[in-house]
A = this chain, B = another copy of it.
């Protein structure tokens, strides 16, 4: 019996419309097989570049409808979703640029060297080829940028891989609409519609990662959900790479000097960052180390004011709302933890941002306070007051892996080459995939040098899901040995007919 999939309004908790049905195992199988048939057509790089640009254009042309659908299902608001759509279109075009440039193919050519020592060397030519059908597990918190038309889909298409997306249940109508836009863009570009296929349903998601024709998976979501799928991917008879972005505390360290120089600005900036998008960003600063003493007190006072001024917000769904309220209450209830601005229930289905304050000494050893080291999804941050470098180091030693780690430094510290700030940055580097100074981690720029990933549980691999190098996840190298010129891929021929950046006999060209 078909299980209906509903679009729900998080502002009221009411069902809006029936979007489709959860995919049966047969439908999952059919979806993957359909996507697999698109693989040969995607081999042409120029058609992929056109597809990505067409998809960006299609999103922009349908912006009004897409944003309305997303706002109705996520309550993220039109301004934020307008920005997210622009980001998503920008990202699709950025990956088109990656495809056009071709550096991601990592072409290396070593001509034969019969005189090589200790043994003669054959002709070897290496580049990267697409892995096959990619499963994408969409995130709840970015219904566009980390969902159907988001970074995982864009980078997989850039690599030449067809995509089967498992829609997030919090925005099925937006998923259906954007999947349709992508499929139409594919057809307009001369590709099969099944270059992108959409599935709904929890069980379908589990079936998907186990399907023999699925070659890799990308995921953005919770630690338990991501870990379960990671375990399924690695337990397959033929294991596949599973690129999961699971959870992150995104620690922030405010030094004594930074607090002394600009306590108010940091407190206000922190409030802006942790309440952004109702605290539902994967890079929300969730643990902030603030020095004890007068300067730190001023920072906390500024944080209090700015947090009180922040508007209540609607979370993505009622389960997240319950988890947030329970999680915030459990943290606030810990002995010696205070809640200067208590997070909690607001009018209707909204929640109020808030923060709690704990003492570093309580976090230095395993125990009940470990709860403060778990991510709390929603507009809550944990301020930890520390006294001296030793206490600070003890807390940092307790932290799991993170997407980001941030230092707020004093001006003199920031200019000193081998001082304490360098030591702090080295420590933060070990904890995260992106290290920031004097900024806030929310906002993940789409740029070649971006790295959105980090030690587990931030991600299940060393790869990034944002930025040009995200395409690397969906490729594998292959080397051709002593292959006649006529049979070499164009990418590997001496004449370089495609004009690719290459490394030939040790020389970058």
Chain A contacts to B: CB under 8 angstroms: 83, 86-87, 90, 103, 106, 108-110, 117-119, 121-122, 124-126, 129, 131, 230-231, 234-235, 238-239, 241, 401, 409, 414-417, 421-422, 425, 429, 432-439, 443, 445, 447-451, 453, 455-457, 460-462, 464, 467-469, 475-484, 486-487, 501, 503, 506, 508
Contact = CB atoms under 8 A, between A and B. Distances in A.
Nearest to A460: B239
Contact of A434 (B109, B401, B450, B481): B481
Given A416-B486, A456-B239, A501-B508, A435 B479 contact: yes
Given A461-B241, A482-B439, A477 B451 contact: yes
Nearest to A437: B483
A469 B478 contact: no
A1 to B, nearest CB: 34
Contacts of A481: 434-437, 439, 445
A357 to B, nearest CB: 27
A433 B455 CA distance: 28
Given A86-B117, A124-B445, 18 more contacts: A83-B119, A108-B449, A110-B447, A124-B447, A124-B449, A126-B469, A129-B429, A238-B456, A239-B460, A241-B462, A432-B478, A436-B482, A437-B480, A453-B477, A462-B475, A462-B476, A464-B477, A501-B508
Given A477-B451, A481-B435, A487 B425 contact: yes
A124 B425 contact: no
B103 A508 contact: yes
A32 B150 CA distance: 41
Given A124-B447, A445-B121, A448-B506, A487 B437 contact: yes
15 contacts: A109-B449, A124-B445, A125-B449, A230-B234, A234-B235, A238-B457, A409-B484, A414-B486, A415-B484, A416-B486, A433-B477, A435-B479, A435-B483, A450-B479, A455-B476
A202 to B, nearest CB: 22
Contacts of A235: 231, 234
A109 B469 CA distance: 13
Nearest to A405: B478
A212 to B, nearest CB: 11
A83 B434 contact: no
B451 A479 contact: yes
A229 to B, nearest CB: 12
A375 to B, nearest CB: 16
A85 to B, nearest CB: 9
A87 B415 CA distance: 47
B126 A450 contact: yes
B416 A119 contact: no
A391 B390 CA distance: 70
Contacts of A106: 469
A87 B437 contact: no
Q: Which of A433, A460, A481 counts the most chain B CB atoms within 10 A?
A: A481
A450 B90 CA distance: 36
Contact of A451 (B230, B478, B501): B478
Contacts of A415: 484, 486
B487 A414 contact: yes
A464 B476 CA distance: 10
Contact of A126 (B239, B416, B449, B508): B449
Contacts of A437: 480-484, 487
Contact of A110 (B86, B87, B448): B448
B462 A131 contact: yes
Contacts of A108: 448-449, 468-469
